[in-house]
Structure formats: structure tokens, C-alpha cells
Amino acid sequence: MSSSQHLTTELRQWITAQLRNGVTREALYQAMLSSGWQPELARQALEEQGEDMPPASVALPALQEPPAVIAEGTLPEPDLGDGRSVLLPDGHRVQVVTTLQRPRVVVFANLLTDEECDAVVAAARVRLARSETVAAQKEGSEVNAARTSEGMFFERGENEVVKRIEARIAALLRWPLRHGEGLQVLRYRVGAEYQPHYDYFDPRHASSKAILERGGQRVATLVMYLNTPTRGGATVFPDVKLDVMAQKGNAVFFSYDRPEPGTLTLHGGAPVLEGEKWVATKWMREGEFI
């Protein structure tokens, strides 16, 4: 078996659900092959059910798309292999402004149109509440003095503009849409900030176990700027002395291959000095976010 693919909880859950819906093993096997799963791995996954595969048959209507194939050890990453500076993930022209290898940071221009930014702000504005952070000593989340923004979450694919943005992100970063959390929208008023922190879930925290069961560890972050503050509000990376200024429609992407400070992904939102700042954040997980 190739080391580039491995059995995942997501794949096992998909097989179980499809069998319960009456789909044959051979139909599942063919669907897995069509989605890029290696034959040996597909057979192993099906044999774990404890029965031999039946003869070939026609897939029943209940058959759903298998989980995406992700090579072991890979991370979300735009296709910059040939040095290109313009990407067209869904036909929309996105410019690559800045790249950094360690930590892995990519700054995009024109990821979102003005109309998309305004639509997200309008839909989010009426649902804002004080932002919280993951609790360290108990399960759940809590208000934290280090984070003074207001925010809300959209369900994945909640409306047409969110659905379009999520599809663009999935294509741009070559990461399955289902492996992403719903968009979080934040508003920072004058003086509001998010002090430097990491986006991965600290395994030592009491709340992390339950969070990780919903899709595994976070592996990447995309922060999209929905407006341009008059002054302040940059996204800062203290470990590498990098400041990314907030510009409407632009975005900063960074990834982290392990939940450790050695990833150099300490980052924060500098205080807004004049005006306000709106951002939409997309976090990507190892597995399907449920």
C-alpha cells in the first residue's frame, strides 16, 4: 500500500453510512476508485466490514460522493509551483502579492469582490455578539480579555455568497470544502484587537478533545478583509516581524503542520486606531468538519 494514502475516520464513516443506505460493496469500491483512492486501500477499507465483496452491480441512488483523497502529511496550499502570480480558482482573478516559506504565509489581493465583501458584512451585522476563545480549563468557549471583537459564524453553505466564497477557497487552496469550518465574521471597533495567539487547538486544554472529534486539528487559516480600516488593524506575525495591512478584498493565508509554537504562526490583530475593521476567517481541518 502506498504511504501517501491512509484510512481515515471520515472514510470509514462514509462506508458505514452508505452500506446502511443499501449501497453494495462493489458500488462503493468503484466510487472510491473514481475519486482517487488506491485499489488496495479501497479493498482494505471494505474488508474491515467483515464480509467479502459481492459481484459487480449497479450503484443504487443512495450512493454519495466518497470523502476526498488527501495525501498523508499534506497541507492546504495554493498552486504556485511555476511561480505564477495570478490564480483563477473559479474563473475569478486572484493575485499573489507576497509569499513566505517559514512560516508558510501567502498574501492574496482581490480574493473577494467589493460586492461579496459588502454582502457578507450586511448578512453578519445583525447577528454579532462578543467574540469568545476556546476555554483552557473547561469545555466550551469563554470571553477573553485578549479578544475584544464582535463576531458570528455562518453555517457552511448558508447562503449563495457564502457558498460561492467557500467554493473559491476550496479550489484556491486545494483543500476539500467539507474540511473547512463555517466562515467566522468579526468586527473590530476603535481600540479592539486580538492579541497574538495560535489557531491550532492546544491538546493540553480541557476543551480540545471534544473539538478535535469534529474534524481533527486545524491545519490552516485564511483571513479575508471585508473593509479597509482608516488606521491600524493589521494582521501581525511577531515571530517573523511581518505585518499584513488590512485591505478590502485581500486575504492572508498561513498553514501549520503541527500544534506547536515551532510553526512560527503566532499572530494577532493589531488594535484599530481609526474607523473599524471587518474580517471573515476560514479555518481548515485535517478531516471533515461536522
Q: What is the CATH number of the domain that holds 263?
A: 2.60.120.620
Is 77 inside a domain boundary?
no
The answer to whether the Cα torsion of 29, 30, 34, 40 is positive or negative is positive
pLDDT at 238 over 50: yes
Give me the DSSP letters along 138-200.
Answer: SSSEE--TTB--EEEEPPTT-SHHHHHHHHHHHHHHT--GGGBPPPEEEEE-TT--EEEE-SS
Q: Is 163 exposed, middle or buried, given 0-12, 13-18 or 19+ CB atoms closer than 10 A?
A: middle
- Domain extent at residue 140: 86-285
- Encode pLDDT of 107-138 as tens digits: 999 999 999 999 999 999 999 997 766 555 55
pLDDT of residue 173: 92
* Domain end marker among 25, 42, 72: 72
Q: Are 276 and 149 in contact (CB under 8 A)?
A: no
pTM over 0.85: no
Q: Are 256 and 200 in contact (CB under 8 A)?
A: yes
Look up residue 52 and give its amino acid.
D
**Shared-domain flag, residues 63 and 119:** no
**Shared-domain flag, residues 59 and 100:** no
The residue with greater pLDDT, 64 or 79, is: 79
* Domain end marker among 72, 105, 122: 72
